[in-house]
A and B are shown apart, each in its own frame.
Chain A
Amino acid sequence: KQEVTQIPAALSVPEGENLVLNCSFTDSAIYNLQWFRQDPGKGLTSLLLIQSSQREQTSGRLNASLDKSSGRSTLYIAASQPGDSATYLCAGLDPHWYALNFGKGTSLLVTP
């Protein structure tokens, strides 16, 4: 079964810093990889989706990369803001079940 791991579990940075969140997965046979944002007690907001044939996707200050051969994805956040404080989840889509396998998330705190 696909295992998804996110490092670090928690991160605190001062406002304005660029940062990288890491996601690794055990089975390179993922269909796609999605990054989500989750605010405390709230739902999941899709940030970026990378197809298995793609290497990266960008949306505003966010850039996500995917390296299937090494089983890794990164989410790069440029010029972080306090409003970026949330938990960031990565999830790989199983190509057989078409169900998402989630990591536990990285809890990000951006301090003013």
Chain B
Amino acid sequence: EPEVTQTPSHQVTQMGQEVILRCVPISNHLYFYWYRQILGQKVEFLVSFYNNEISEKSEIFDDQFSVERPDGSNFTLKIRSTKLEDSAMYFCASRDGLSGTHEQFFGPGTRLTVL
């Protein structure tokens, strides 16, 4: 069964460094999302992406964040200068845009630890 994949599974970085989290959405899906979950807290929406541009973004998604679909398969989240509070699990999700259900399928997540 098709699934969303994410790499790496765990990323450790120093404060101030740039990180790129990678996702491969399900191949025929058109809409892509990033969410994050700080330990012990709710899963929070960051950004949605369609037709090579951002559709919506939350107040969390400030200028330190950017997203890109560099080719036909990858979807990336870049954090330009990481802060301690960026430590979280980051989930990528995708949906097909054709079925009408708007069901989102999630990847296994990348655990980001900022030291």
Contacts and interface: CB of A to CB of B under 8 A. Distances in A.
B43 A102 contact: yes
A34 B104 contact: yes
Contact of B102 (A4, A31, A43, A103): A31
Interface residues of B, number: 23
A4 B101 CA distance: 20
A98 B102 contact: yes
B25 interface: no
B101 A43 contact: no
Interface of B is mostly: strand
Contacts of B41: 104
A107 B77 CA distance: 29
Contacts, number: 55
A51 B44 contact: no
Contacts of B65: none
Contacts of A51: 101
Nearest to B110: A43
Nearest to B4: A43
Contact of A102 (B42, B48, B107): B42
B45 A46 contact: no
Interface residues of A, number: 25
A46 B109 contact: no
Interface string B37-59: 00001111100100000011010
Contacts of A41: 111
A91 B107 CA distance: 16
Nearest to A94: B45
A15 B111 CA distance: 32
23 contacts: A32-B101, A32-B103, A36-B106, A43-B91, A43-B109, A44-B43, A46-B105, A49-B101, A49-B103, A89-B43, A97-B45, A97-B56, A98-B55, A99-B33, A99-B48, A99-B58, A100-B43, A100-B45, A102-B42, A102-B43, A104-B41, A104-B42, A105-B42
The 9 nearest A-B residue pairs measured at CB: A43-B108, A99-B45, A44-B106, A102-B43, A97-B56, A43-B109, A49-B103, A102-B42, A104-B42
